[in-house]
Amino acid sequence: MAKSAFTEVIIELIRAIPPGTVSTYGRIAEMAGSPRAARQVVRVLHTYSETESLPWHRVINRDGKIALLSSEQRNAQRELLEKEGVEFDTSGRIDLDTYLWQPDDDWDLDNDLTIDSICRS
């Protein structure tokens, strides 16, 4: 099936999260233009993490916690983040004030998409 524009935008936003930073499901949904569609971000991660090589580990929940279900997966995600320099507190939380991705003022999704499509062609 063809990906919807909405799905494409979510994919690009996840791709844009720089190493060593994180974002949240709700934040990505908001940036994609649908503030209450956090669960769609979950769906995209489920569906495209592998096929689109997404940095899935950089997406956490609004509490700054890893949201995966199994402990094996949680450990894997934590290791990937720690490898990028992201720190966890004693209760396994990430300080969002420190690590939440804050796009630069000149960061622009359309421009990013353009650059990406140029590289792809």
Partner DNA sequence: CACATGACGAGGG
Partner DNA sequence: ACCCTCGCCATGT
Residues making contact with DNA (CB under 7 A):
1, 3-4, 6-7, 24-27, 34, 36-43, 45-47, 49, 56-57, 59, 61-63, 67-69, 77, 91
Q: Which is nearer to DNA, 90 or 117 (CB)?
A: 90
Contact 14, 52 (CB under 8 A): no
The CB-of-73 to DNA minimum distance in angstroms stands at 7
Q: Which is nearer to DNA, 43 or 85 (CB)?
A: 43
φ, ψ (nearest 5 deg) of residue 23: -140, 175
Task: Pinpoint the alpha helices (H) of 1-121.
Answer: 5-16, 25-31, 38-48, 71-83, 96-99, 109-120
The CB-of-18 to DNA minimum distance in angstroms stands at 17
Q: Which is nearer to DNA, 100 or 112 (CB)?
A: 100
Contact 21, 104 (CB under 8 A): no
The whole-angstrom separation of Cα 98 and Cα 4 is 33
The CB-of-70 to DNA minimum distance in angstroms stands at 9
Q: Which is nearer to DNA, 43 or 83 (CB)?
A: 43
